[in-house]
Each structure stands twice: as C-alpha cells, then as structure tokens.
A = this chain, B = another copy of it.
Amino acid sequence: MQNAVFKALSHPARRQILALLRKGPQLAGDLAAEFDTSWPTMSRHLAVLKDAELVTADRQGNQILYRINTSVLEDAATALLGLIGRDDGDDPIKEAAE
C-alpha cells in the first residue's frame, strides 16, 4: 500500500537505513551498529520498512540479511513526480497519445 510506504519514509532513521542499504544487503546487527538507538528500536524501524515492502529480510542461519527493494522506492518516486506535472484536465486518452 502506497500509504505505508510514505509513512515508512517519514522517519529520518528509516531513510538512513535505506541509504545504508544502497551499499548492498546488510545484516540487521550491522545496521543497528550504525545508530545510537537501541537494538529493539532499530528492529522496529526495520519492521516498518518491511511492512511497506521497502526492504526484504532473509534469514541467513543465525542472522538476518536485509535488502532494499528498489521497485517500491521507484514507485514512490514516480508518485511524487506524478504530482509535479500539471494536470490540464485533458481527456486521458488523448493525453496518453501525445
């Protein structure tokens, strides 16, 4: 759901997590180590991101590997860009043709 995505993006720590995941998949513990907040707090941020499907989690034996889900991020970015273009109220069929 679109709303969960923007809600998830509304906390700076969660955007920071996504930024860290740009470097590649990361273990939950490695992510937590980058922040001042407690582990359980990080864990919940990750859960929020997972709920929004902005990340995926895969257990690797003892630990859990988080991966960014770029397609959902793309959709969010596209939604924002969609708010920029002027809506001239034209017939959508004609609009698609131009």
Residues of A within 8 A of B (CB): 3, 6-7, 9-10, 12, 15, 18-19, 22-24, 68, 70, 73-74, 76-77, 79-81, 83-89
> Dominant SS at the A interface?
helix
What is the bound-complex CA distance between A12 and B89, given in angstroms?
Answer: 22
What is the copy number of this chain in the assembly?
2
Chain B residues, CB < 8 A from A89? 23
Q: How far is the CB of A96 from chain B (nearest CB, A)?
A: 16
Query: Are the C-beta atoms of B73 and A83 separated by less than 8 Å?
Result: yes
Q: How far is the CB of A13 from chain B (nearest CB, A)?
A: 11
Query: Are the C-beta atoms of B9 and A86 separated by less than 8 Å?
Result: no
Q: Say whether, besides A9-B6, A12-B3, A22 and B80 are in contact (CB < 8 Å).
A: no
